[in-house]
């Protein structure tokens, strides 16, 4: 098994439909030992059953914006695991009001919250985990196309994802001195808890399904397998990359078709229109 003997930390799993869950599932299937974190008491009730499912008793409270929690995390990992081999950063947040209207309507407070939680947290988490990471380790963040291009209703989260992706490249150099890799996956849209806050999300799903080269939406299992690859020794020469797992949608420069809310497809371009 590819991940046999590997130990890793999953930060930000919300439920069994989240991308972090898919990555954890793929890593566990390949023999990895896992530790998990939860933000608060409400989320602890969701995370502990997931940890049990993956035969893990190691679950930590972690507010990613709390320096004391991060300091304690380093100590806890060293106590429970000694050293770890990989970290999954699946943390993003913007106040609901910041996802309404346009980016120009974003308040300074909401901007700072979104950037600190969604981008700076990768830097602070990496700094906390580096002292307990093995040589050849891997850190993986989760991004979205909205960080590279305009996506309706994504607003300040697009700016935060752009900062996250840039942080991946700079951290790859910092961590490369320790032979630790840093990458991100930019997954296609998936019905997750965080996606529920994005307006017209069903339209985004329909549009991606109609216009991606593979004519479907990506699954958490598919993203999970790609994540496992980037965390494993199969990708020892890959770092500083934003790896798209979106059925090729990011490669498209022009729409092929539209889909309405009922799923009916209307072709915009086909062989007849050449």
Spatial separation of the C-alpha atoms in residues 168 and 177, rounded to whole Å: 15
Q: How confident is the model at residue 270 (pLDDT cuts 50, 70, 90)?
A: low
pLDDT digits (tens, 9 = 90+) for 69-122: 999 999 999 999 999 999 999 999 999 999 999 999 999 999 999 999 999 999
User: Is pTM beyond 0.85 here?
Assistant: yes
DSSP 128: H
* Total Cβ atoms within 10 A of residue 135: 9
Q: Determine the 3-state secondary structure of 222 from DSSP.
A: helix
pLDDT digits (tens, 9 = 90+) for 238-249: 999 999 999 999
Report the CATH architecture of 7-198+217-248.
3-Layer(aba) Sandwich (3.40)
Q: Which of 21, 120, 144, 170 is catalytic?
A: 144
Q: What is the pLDDT of residue 172?
A: 98
Q: Which of 21, 154, 229, 244 is catalytic?
A: 154
Q: What is the pLDDT of residue 169?
A: 98
- Give the mean pLDDT of 199-210: 81
Spatial separation of the C-alpha atoms in residues 62 and 86, rounded to whole Å: 17
**Is 60 in the active site?**
no
Which residues make Cβ contacts (< 8 Å) with residue 79, sequence separation at least 6? none
For the chain, give the percent of residues with pLDDT over 70: 92
Q: What is the pLDDT of residue 196?
A: 58
**Is 170 in the active site?**
no
């Amino acid at each position: 098994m590819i991940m046999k003997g590997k130990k890793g930390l999953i930060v930000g799993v919300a439920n069994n439909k989240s991308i972090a869950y898919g990555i954890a599932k793929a890593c566990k299937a390949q023999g990895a030992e896992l530790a998990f974190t939860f933000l608060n008491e409400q989320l602890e009730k969701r995370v502990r059953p997931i940890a049990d499912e993956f035969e893990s008793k190691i679950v930590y409270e972690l507010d990613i914006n709390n320096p004391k929690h991060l300091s304690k995390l380093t100590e806890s990992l060293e106590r429970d695991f000694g050293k770890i081999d990989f970290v999954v950063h699946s943390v993003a947040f913007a106040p609901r009001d910041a996802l309404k209207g346009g980016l120009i309507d974003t308040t300074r407070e909401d901007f700072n919250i979104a950037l600190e939680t969604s981008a700076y947290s990768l830097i602070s988490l990496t700094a906390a985990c580096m002292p307990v990471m093995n040589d050849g380790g891997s850190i993986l963040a989760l991004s979205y196309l909205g960080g590279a291009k305009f996506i309706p209703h994504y607003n300040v989260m697009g700016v935060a994802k752009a900062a996250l992706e840039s942080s991946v490249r700079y951290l790859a150099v910092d961590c490369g001195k320790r032979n630790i890799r840093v990458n991100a996956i930019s997954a296609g849209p998936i019905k997750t808890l965080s996606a529920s806050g994005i307006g017209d999300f069903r339209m985004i799903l329909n549009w991606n399904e109609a216009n991606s080269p593979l004519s479907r939406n990506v699954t958490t299992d598919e993203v999970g397998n790609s994540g496992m690859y980037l965390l494993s020794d199969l990708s020892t020469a890959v770092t500083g990359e934003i790896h798209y797992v979106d059925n090729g949608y990011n490669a498209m420069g022009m729409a092929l078709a539209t889909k309405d809310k009922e799923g009916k497809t209307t072709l915009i371009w086909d062989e007849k229109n050449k």
